[in-house]
Amino acid sequence: MWRSLRPIGRSDASGGYRRYAWTEADADCRLWFRMQAEARRLDVETDRNGNQWAWLGDPTAGDAVVTGSHLDSVPDGGAFDGPLGVVSAFAALDELRARGAVFKRPLAIVNFGDEEGARFGLACVGSRLTAGRLTKEQAYELRDADGISLPQAMEAAGHDPAAIGADPERLAKIGAFVELHVEQGRALDLSGDAVGLASAIWPHGRWRYDFAGEANHAGTTRLVDRRDPMLTYAETVLAARREAELAGAVATFGKIAVEPNGVNAIPSLVRGWLDARAADQGALDKVVTGIEAEARAYADRHGIDLTVVRESFTPIVDFSHTLRDELSRLLGEKTGSTGKVPVLGTGAGHDAGILSESIPTAMLFVRNPTGVSHSPAEFAAEDDCVAGVLALADVLEGLACR
Protein backbone atom coordinates (compact mmCIF):
# COMPACT_ATOMS: atom_id res chain seq x y z
CA MET A 1 0.00 0.00 0.00
CA TRP A 2 2.72 2.41 1.00
CA ARG A 3 4.61 1.86 -2.26
CA SER A 4 1.52 2.35 -4.43
CA LEU A 5 0.53 5.56 -2.66
CA ARG A 6 4.06 6.98 -2.59
CA PRO A 7 4.28 8.54 -6.09
CA ILE A 8 0.83 10.18 -6.04
CA GLY A 9 1.08 13.97 -5.93
CA ARG A 10 4.79 13.89 -5.04
CA SER A 11 6.97 16.74 -6.30
CA ASP A 12 10.25 15.57 -7.80
CA ALA A 13 11.75 18.96 -7.02
CA SER A 14 11.04 18.99 -3.27
CA GLY A 15 10.28 15.36 -2.50
CA GLY A 16 7.16 16.65 -0.72
CA TYR A 17 3.48 16.09 -1.46
CA ARG A 18 1.08 18.50 -3.16
CA ARG A 19 -2.19 16.69 -2.75
CA TYR A 20 -4.67 19.54 -2.73
CA ALA A 21 -8.43 19.17 -2.55
CA TRP A 22 -10.24 18.45 -5.81
CA THR A 23 -7.10 18.42 -7.95
CA GLU A 24 -5.78 15.62 -10.14
CA ALA A 25 -3.55 14.36 -7.31
CA ASP A 26 -6.59 14.27 -5.02
CA ALA A 27 -8.53 12.28 -7.63
CA ASP A 28 -5.62 9.83 -7.87
CA CYS A 29 -5.63 9.42 -4.06
CA ARG A 30 -9.38 8.81 -4.16
CA LEU A 31 -8.94 6.18 -6.87
CA TRP A 32 -6.22 4.56 -4.77
CA PHE A 33 -8.62 4.45 -1.79
CA ARG A 34 -11.37 2.91 -3.93
CA MET A 35 -9.02 0.22 -5.25
CA GLN A 36 -7.81 -0.67 -1.75
CA ALA A 37 -11.40 -0.92 -0.54
CA GLU A 38 -12.58 -2.98 -3.49
CA ALA A 39 -9.63 -5.33 -3.17
CA ARG A 40 -10.94 -6.06 0.36
CA ARG A 41 -14.56 -6.45 -0.81
CA LEU A 42 -15.68 -3.31 1.05
CA ASP A 43 -18.55 -1.16 -0.21
CA VAL A 44 -17.28 2.27 -1.21
CA GLU A 45 -19.33 5.43 -1.19
CA THR A 46 -18.55 9.12 -1.41
CA ASP A 47 -20.80 11.15 0.86
CA ARG A 48 -22.35 14.44 -0.15
CA ASN A 49 -19.41 16.37 1.32
CA GLY A 50 -16.81 14.45 -0.65
CA ASN A 51 -15.60 12.13 2.12
CA GLN A 52 -14.97 8.53 1.06
CA TRP A 53 -16.23 5.60 3.15
CA ALA A 54 -15.41 1.91 2.76
CA TRP A 55 -17.89 -0.28 4.61
CA LEU A 56 -17.72 -3.76 6.04
CA GLY A 57 -21.24 -4.60 7.16
CA ASP A 58 -24.43 -2.58 6.91
CA PRO A 59 -23.90 1.21 7.11
CA THR A 60 -27.53 1.70 8.13
CA ALA A 61 -27.38 -0.75 11.04
CA GLY A 62 -25.99 1.86 13.43
CA ASP A 63 -23.33 1.90 16.17
CA ALA A 64 -20.59 1.60 13.53
CA VAL A 65 -16.92 1.69 14.42
CA VAL A 66 -15.08 4.05 12.06
CA THR A 67 -11.37 4.54 11.53
CA GLY A 68 -9.27 6.40 8.95
CA SER A 69 -7.82 9.84 8.34
CA HIS A 70 -7.09 11.95 5.24
CA LEU A 71 -4.99 11.69 2.08
CA ASP A 72 -4.61 15.38 1.16
CA SER A 73 -1.49 17.32 2.14
CA VAL A 74 -0.10 20.73 2.98
CA PRO A 75 2.20 22.30 0.33
CA ASP A 76 5.24 20.02 0.17
CA GLY A 77 3.91 17.90 3.02
CA GLY A 78 5.27 14.62 4.29
CA ALA A 79 4.16 11.10 3.43
CA PHE A 80 2.71 10.22 6.84
CA ASP A 81 0.38 13.03 7.98
CA GLY A 82 -2.99 11.57 7.02
CA PRO A 83 -1.97 8.61 4.84
CA LEU A 84 -0.55 6.69 7.81
CA GLY A 85 -4.04 6.63 9.33
CA VAL A 86 -5.69 5.44 6.11
CA VAL A 87 -3.06 2.82 5.26
CA SER A 88 -3.05 1.58 8.88
CA ALA A 89 -6.85 1.26 8.79
CA PHE A 90 -6.72 -1.09 5.78
CA ALA A 91 -3.74 -2.96 7.29
CA ALA A 92 -5.55 -3.34 10.64
CA LEU A 93 -8.54 -4.83 8.82
CA ASP A 94 -6.20 -7.30 7.07
CA GLU A 95 -4.73 -8.20 10.46
CA LEU A 96 -8.18 -8.77 11.98
CA ARG A 97 -9.23 -10.95 9.08
CA ALA A 98 -6.02 -12.96 9.50
CA ARG A 99 -6.95 -13.39 13.17
CA GLY A 100 -10.35 -14.69 12.08
CA ALA A 101 -12.17 -11.88 13.87
CA VAL A 102 -15.97 -11.87 13.67
CA PHE A 103 -17.45 -8.38 13.41
CA LYS A 104 -20.50 -7.63 15.54
CA ARG A 105 -20.67 -3.97 14.58
CA PRO A 106 -20.35 -2.39 11.13
CA LEU A 107 -16.85 -1.13 10.40
CA ALA A 108 -15.94 1.74 8.08
CA ILE A 109 -12.65 3.13 6.84
CA VAL A 110 -12.87 6.82 5.96
CA ASN A 111 -10.84 9.25 3.87
CA PHE A 112 -11.91 12.75 4.88
CA GLY A 113 -11.71 15.35 2.12
CA ASP A 114 -9.64 18.52 2.37
CA GLU A 115 -8.30 18.11 5.92
CA GLU A 116 -5.34 20.44 5.53
CA GLY A 117 -7.17 23.32 3.89
CA ALA A 118 -4.13 23.97 1.72
CA ARG A 119 -6.18 25.11 -1.28
CA PHE A 120 -9.20 26.95 0.17
CA GLY A 121 -7.65 28.16 3.42
CA LEU A 122 -9.97 26.34 5.82
CA ALA A 123 -8.89 23.06 7.43
CA CYS A 124 -11.11 19.97 7.83
CA VAL A 125 -13.71 21.07 5.26
CA GLY A 126 -15.09 17.54 4.74
CA SER A 127 -15.60 16.77 8.42
CA ARG A 128 -16.72 20.33 9.27
CA LEU A 129 -19.47 20.17 6.64
CA THR A 130 -20.60 16.75 7.84
CA ALA A 131 -20.67 17.85 11.48
CA GLY A 132 -22.57 21.03 10.60
CA ARG A 133 -19.69 23.22 11.69
CA LEU A 134 -19.38 24.77 8.22
CA THR A 135 -22.57 25.70 6.40
CA LYS A 136 -23.17 25.26 2.69
CA GLU A 137 -23.35 29.05 2.34
CA GLN A 138 -19.98 29.51 4.07
CA ALA A 139 -18.42 26.74 1.99
CA TYR A 140 -19.67 28.34 -1.22
CA GLU A 141 -17.71 31.50 -0.29
CA LEU A 142 -14.36 29.66 -0.11
CA ARG A 143 -11.96 30.46 -2.96
CA ASP A 144 -8.49 29.27 -3.88
CA ALA A 145 -5.56 31.52 -4.88
CA ASP A 146 -6.81 31.58 -8.50
CA GLY A 147 -10.31 32.68 -7.49
CA ILE A 148 -11.85 29.25 -8.15
CA SER A 149 -14.64 28.65 -5.66
CA LEU A 150 -15.02 25.40 -3.71
CA PRO A 151 -18.24 24.42 -5.54
CA GLN A 152 -16.58 25.13 -8.89
CA ALA A 153 -13.62 22.93 -7.91
CA MET A 154 -15.92 20.16 -6.72
CA GLU A 155 -17.92 20.30 -9.91
CA ALA A 156 -14.78 20.23 -12.07
CA ALA A 157 -13.71 17.09 -10.19
CA GLY A 158 -17.08 15.43 -10.84
CA HIS A 159 -18.61 15.96 -7.39
CA ASP A 160 -22.03 17.64 -7.22
CA PRO A 161 -21.75 20.49 -4.69
CA ALA A 162 -25.52 21.09 -4.50
CA ALA A 163 -26.06 18.70 -1.59
CA ILE A 164 -23.13 19.64 0.65
CA GLY A 165 -23.93 20.36 4.28
CA ALA A 166 -24.63 18.83 7.66
CA ASP A 167 -25.15 15.07 7.63
CA PRO A 168 -26.57 14.20 11.07
CA GLU A 169 -28.13 10.95 9.82
CA ARG A 170 -24.66 9.66 8.92
CA LEU A 171 -23.14 10.68 12.24
CA ALA A 172 -26.06 9.11 14.12
CA LYS A 173 -25.04 5.72 12.70
CA ILE A 174 -21.51 5.95 14.10
CA GLY A 175 -20.76 4.72 17.61
CA ALA A 176 -17.05 5.52 17.73
CA PHE A 177 -14.36 7.12 15.56
CA VAL A 178 -10.68 6.29 16.06
CA GLU A 179 -8.06 8.17 14.01
CA LEU A 180 -4.47 6.94 13.93
CA HIS A 181 -1.94 9.67 13.11
CA VAL A 182 1.79 10.17 13.04
CA GLU A 183 2.81 12.23 16.05
CA GLN A 184 3.77 15.77 15.09
CA GLY A 185 6.03 16.40 18.04
CA ARG A 186 8.57 14.36 20.00
CA ALA A 187 6.64 13.35 23.11
CA LEU A 188 6.66 9.64 22.22
CA ASP A 189 10.29 9.76 21.19
CA LEU A 190 11.15 11.28 24.54
CA SER A 191 9.02 8.83 26.52
CA GLY A 192 10.38 5.87 24.54
CA ASP A 193 6.97 4.62 23.36
CA ALA A 194 5.97 3.57 19.84
CA VAL A 195 2.28 4.38 20.31
CA GLY A 196 0.28 6.85 22.40
CA LEU A 197 -3.26 8.11 22.90
CA ALA A 198 -4.56 11.65 22.46
CA SER A 199 -5.94 13.65 25.36
CA ALA A 200 -6.76 17.00 23.79
CA ILE A 201 -6.21 19.29 20.81
CA TRP A 202 -5.18 22.86 21.53
CA PRO A 203 -7.57 25.62 20.48
CA HIS A 204 -6.28 27.13 17.25
CA GLY A 205 -7.18 29.41 14.39
CA ARG A 206 -6.13 31.31 11.28
CA TRP A 207 -6.22 35.09 10.93
CA ARG A 208 -5.67 37.03 7.67
CA TYR A 209 -3.76 40.29 8.02
CA ASP A 210 -4.11 42.76 5.12
CA PHE A 211 -1.53 45.53 5.28
CA ALA A 212 -2.40 48.17 2.66
CA GLY A 213 0.13 50.87 1.75
CA GLU A 214 1.10 52.72 -1.40
CA ALA A 215 2.82 51.21 -4.44
CA ASN A 216 5.75 53.28 -5.60
CA HIS A 217 9.16 53.16 -7.24
CA ALA A 218 11.84 51.31 -5.27
CA GLY A 219 14.60 53.56 -6.62
CA THR A 220 13.11 57.03 -6.56
CA THR A 221 10.88 57.15 -3.51
CA ARG A 222 12.59 58.67 -0.49
CA LEU A 223 12.38 56.50 2.64
CA VAL A 224 10.47 59.19 4.51
CA ASP A 225 7.86 59.39 1.75
CA ARG A 226 7.06 55.67 1.74
CA ARG A 227 3.99 53.88 3.02
CA ASP A 228 5.57 50.44 2.84
CA PRO A 229 3.30 47.62 4.13
CA MET A 230 6.18 45.14 4.02
CA LEU A 231 7.82 46.92 6.94
CA THR A 232 4.68 46.67 9.06
CA TYR A 233 4.28 43.04 8.07
CA ALA A 234 7.89 42.30 9.08
CA GLU A 235 7.42 44.04 12.42
CA THR A 236 4.24 42.04 12.98
CA VAL A 237 6.06 38.74 12.35
CA LEU A 238 8.59 39.66 15.04
CA ALA A 239 5.77 40.74 17.36
CA ALA A 240 4.08 37.36 16.84
CA ARG A 241 7.20 35.58 18.03
CA ARG A 242 7.52 37.83 21.07
CA GLU A 243 3.85 37.59 22.03
CA ALA A 244 3.89 33.80 21.62
CA GLU A 245 6.87 33.53 23.96
CA LEU A 246 5.13 35.73 26.52
CA ALA A 247 1.87 33.76 26.38
CA GLY A 248 3.45 30.30 26.23
CA ALA A 249 1.73 29.81 22.87
CA VAL A 250 2.83 29.32 19.25
CA ALA A 251 2.24 31.82 16.45
CA THR A 252 3.34 31.49 12.84
CA PHE A 253 3.20 33.55 9.68
CA GLY A 254 3.82 30.84 7.07
CA LYS A 255 1.98 32.21 4.06
CA ILE A 256 2.22 35.59 2.42
CA ALA A 257 0.89 37.27 -0.74
CA VAL A 258 2.38 40.50 -2.03
CA GLU A 259 0.95 42.95 -4.58
CA PRO A 260 2.18 43.80 -7.11
CA ASN A 261 5.09 41.49 -6.15
CA GLY A 262 7.70 43.31 -8.19
CA VAL A 263 11.33 43.34 -7.14
CA ASN A 264 11.66 47.09 -7.91
CA ALA A 265 8.30 48.21 -6.49
CA ILE A 266 7.24 49.13 -2.96
CA PRO A 267 4.22 46.87 -2.41
CA SER A 268 0.69 48.22 -2.33
CA LEU A 269 -0.52 45.27 -0.26
CA VAL A 270 1.01 42.57 1.89
CA ARG A 271 -1.35 39.84 3.00
CA GLY A 272 -0.07 37.47 5.68
CA TRP A 273 -1.81 34.58 7.38
CA LEU A 274 -1.30 34.06 11.10
CA ASP A 275 -1.70 30.56 12.54
CA ALA A 276 -1.92 30.74 16.34
CA ARG A 277 -2.39 27.94 18.89
CA ALA A 278 -2.13 27.48 22.64
CA ALA A 279 -2.89 24.88 25.27
CA ASP A 280 -5.82 26.90 26.61
CA GLN A 281 -8.18 29.58 25.40
CA GLY A 282 -6.84 32.24 27.76
CA ALA A 283 -3.31 31.95 26.36
CA LEU A 284 -4.62 31.91 22.80
CA ASP A 285 -6.66 35.07 23.37
CA LYS A 286 -3.64 36.72 24.93
CA VAL A 287 -1.32 36.00 22.01
CA VAL A 288 -3.86 36.89 19.32
CA THR A 289 -4.87 40.18 20.98
CA GLY A 290 -1.25 41.07 21.67
CA ILE A 291 -0.15 40.54 18.07
CA GLU A 292 -3.02 42.59 16.68
CA ALA A 293 -2.37 45.46 19.11
CA GLU A 294 1.31 45.60 18.14
CA ALA A 295 0.48 45.35 14.43
CA ARG A 296 -2.00 48.24 14.71
CA ALA A 297 0.54 50.41 16.52
CA TYR A 298 3.13 49.80 13.79
CA ALA A 299 0.54 50.34 11.06
CA ASP A 300 -0.47 53.73 12.50
CA ARG A 301 3.13 54.84 12.68
CA HIS A 302 3.80 53.94 9.02
CA GLY A 303 0.52 55.12 7.45
CA ILE A 304 -0.64 51.58 6.73
CA ASP A 305 -4.29 50.49 6.71
CA LEU A 306 -4.63 47.19 8.52
CA THR A 307 -7.57 44.80 8.30
CA VAL A 308 -7.61 41.60 10.38
CA VAL A 309 -10.09 38.83 9.57
CA ARG A 310 -10.44 35.60 11.54
CA GLU A 311 -10.78 32.98 8.80
CA SER A 312 -11.23 29.93 11.01
CA PHE A 313 -11.24 28.88 14.62
CA THR A 314 -11.39 25.53 16.40
CA PRO A 315 -12.00 25.53 20.16
CA ILE A 316 -10.17 23.20 22.51
CA VAL A 317 -11.00 19.51 22.01
CA ASP A 318 -11.08 17.23 25.02
CA PHE A 319 -11.47 13.73 23.58
CA SER A 320 -14.01 11.35 25.14
CA HIS A 321 -12.55 10.12 28.43
CA THR A 322 -14.71 7.00 28.31
CA LEU A 323 -13.46 5.94 24.89
CA ARG A 324 -9.86 6.81 25.74
CA ASP A 325 -10.02 4.74 28.94
CA GLU A 326 -11.52 1.88 26.93
CA LEU A 327 -8.69 2.09 24.39
CA SER A 328 -6.12 2.26 27.15
CA ARG A 329 -7.63 -0.85 28.74
CA LEU A 330 -7.76 -2.72 25.40
CA LEU A 331 -4.13 -1.90 24.60
CA GLY A 332 -2.93 -2.84 28.08
CA GLU A 333 -4.93 -6.07 27.99
CA LYS A 334 -3.39 -7.10 24.69
CA THR A 335 0.22 -6.48 25.61
CA GLY A 336 -0.34 -7.75 29.14
CA SER A 337 1.69 -4.77 30.23
CA THR A 338 0.96 -2.96 33.46
CA GLY A 339 2.49 0.23 32.10
CA LYS A 340 -0.06 2.72 30.84
CA VAL A 341 -0.15 3.83 27.21
CA PRO A 342 1.09 7.44 27.22
CA VAL A 343 -1.61 10.07 26.79
CA LEU A 344 -0.62 13.30 25.08
CA GLY A 345 -2.10 16.57 23.92
CA THR A 346 -1.30 18.09 20.55
CA GLY A 347 -1.20 21.45 18.84
CA ALA A 348 -2.18 19.91 15.49
CA GLY A 349 -5.73 19.92 14.15
CA HIS A 350 -7.51 16.73 13.04
CA ASP A 351 -10.86 15.57 11.66
CA ALA A 352 -11.16 13.59 14.91
CA GLY A 353 -11.27 16.92 16.74
CA ILE A 354 -14.11 18.18 14.57
CA LEU A 355 -16.13 14.98 15.01
CA SER A 356 -15.55 14.74 18.75
CA GLU A 357 -18.43 17.14 19.45
CA SER A 358 -20.84 14.79 17.69
CA ILE A 359 -19.55 11.27 18.43
CA PRO A 360 -17.18 9.53 20.87
CA THR A 361 -13.77 10.00 19.30
CA ALA A 362 -10.22 8.91 20.09
CA MET A 363 -6.79 9.15 18.49
CA LEU A 364 -3.73 6.91 18.41
CA PHE A 365 -0.34 8.51 17.74
CA VAL A 366 2.68 6.75 16.23
CA ARG A 367 6.16 7.86 17.25
CA ASN A 368 7.87 10.47 15.09
CA PRO A 369 11.60 10.27 15.87
CA THR A 370 12.36 13.86 14.87
CA GLY A 371 8.98 15.45 15.50
CA VAL A 372 9.19 17.04 12.04
CA SER A 373 5.86 17.29 10.22
CA HIS A 374 4.30 19.35 7.40
CA SER A 375 7.63 18.88 5.65
CA PRO A 376 9.12 16.33 3.23
CA ALA A 377 11.39 15.24 6.11
CA GLU A 378 8.43 13.86 8.12
CA PHE A 379 9.19 10.27 9.11
CA ALA A 380 8.11 7.26 11.14
CA ALA A 381 10.07 4.01 11.40
CA GLU A 382 8.53 0.91 9.84
CA ASP A 383 8.57 -0.98 13.16
CA ASP A 384 6.64 1.83 14.82
CA CYS A 385 4.14 1.94 11.95
CA VAL A 386 3.59 -1.79 12.39
CA ALA A 387 3.15 -1.28 16.15
CA GLY A 388 0.53 1.35 15.26
CA VAL A 389 -1.32 -1.04 12.95
CA LEU A 390 -1.37 -3.76 15.61
CA ALA A 391 -2.57 -1.30 18.25
CA LEU A 392 -5.32 -0.13 15.91
CA ALA A 393 -6.26 -3.75 15.17
CA ASP A 394 -6.46 -4.49 18.92
CA VAL A 395 -8.65 -1.45 19.45
CA LEU A 396 -10.97 -2.27 16.53
CA GLU A 397 -11.20 -5.88 17.64
CA GLY A 398 -12.13 -4.78 21.15
CA LEU A 399 -14.73 -2.32 19.95
CA ALA A 400 -16.27 -4.11 16.97
CA CYS A 401 -15.79 -7.82 17.51
CA ARG A 402 -17.00 -8.50 21.06
Residues 119-138 binding ligand GLV (CB under 6 A) are: 123
**Residue placing its CB nearer to Mn ion in the complex, 96 or 355:** 355
Which run of H or E residues covers position 141?
helix 136-141
DSSP sequence for 217-228: ETTTS-GGG---
Residue 80 CB neighbours (<10 A): 22
Find out whether 364 and 181 touch, Cβ atoms under 8 Å: yes
Find out whether 298 and 235 touch, Cβ atoms under 8 Å: yes
**Residue placing its CB nearer to Mn ion in the complex, 306 or 348:** 348
- State the number of binding residues for ligand GLV (CB under 6 A): 4
Nearest approach, Cβ of residue 102 and ligand GLV (Å): 36
The helix/strand/coil state of 39 is: helix
Nearest approach, Cβ of residue 250 and ligand GLV (Å): 11
Contacts of 401 (CB under 8 A, 6+ apart): 96, 101, 102, 103, 104
On the 0-12 / 13-18 / 19+ scale of CB atoms within 10 A, 332 is middle
**Residue placing its CB nearer to ligand GLV in the complex, 116 or 397:** 116
The helix/strand/coil state of 290 is: helix
List the single partner that 82 binds among Mn ion, ligand GLV, none, CB under 5 to 8 Å by kind.
Mn ion
**Residue placing its CB nearer to Mn ion in the complex, 81 or 114:** 81
Handedness of CA 142, 125, 253, 152 (dihedral sign): negative
Nearest approach, Cβ of residue 25 and ligand GLV (Å): 17
Site string (279-298) toward ligand GLV, x via CB under 6 A: --------------------
**Residue placing its CB nearer to ligand GLV in the complex, 229 or 272:** 272
* 66 touches ligand GLV (CB under 6 A): no
| Inter-residue long-range contacts of 382-388, CB under 8 Å, 24+ positions, other chains counted | 383/194, 384/194, 384/195, 385/84, 385/88, 387/194, 387/195, 388/84, 388/88, 388/180, 388/194, 388/195, 388/364
Nearest to 317 by CA among 288, 286, 349: 349
* 72 touches ligand GLV (CB under 6 A): no
Site string (60-99) toward Mn ion, x via CB under 5 A: ---------------------xx-----------------
List the single partner that 351 binds among ligand GLV, Mn ion, none, CB under 5 to 8 Å by kind.
none
* 348 touches ligand GLV (CB under 6 A): yes
Contacts of 35 (CB under 8 A, 6+ apart): none
**Residue placing its CB nearer to ligand GLV in the complex, 349 or 360:** 349
**Residue in 349, 353, 360, 388 binding ligand GLV, rule: CB under 6 A:** 349
**Residue placing its CB nearer to Mn ion in the complex, 56 or 274:** 274
**Residue placing its CB nearer to ligand GLV in the complex, 153 or 348:** 348
| 328/333 Cα distance (integer angstroms) | 8
**Residue in 26, 47, 95, 116 binding ligand GLV, rule: CB under 6 A:** 116
Angular region, 45: left φ>0, alpha ψ -120 to 50, beta rest? beta
Site string (73-112) toward ligand GLV, x via CB under 6 A: ----------------------------------------
Nearest approach, Cβ of residue 156 and ligand GLV (Å): 25
Residue 41 CB neighbours (<10 A): 8
List the single partner that 123 binds among ligand GLV, Mn ion, none, CB under 5 to 8 Å by kind.
ligand GLV
Chain residues in the site for ligand GLV (CB under 6 A): 116, 123, 348-349
Chain residues in the site for Mn ion (CB under 5 A): 81-82
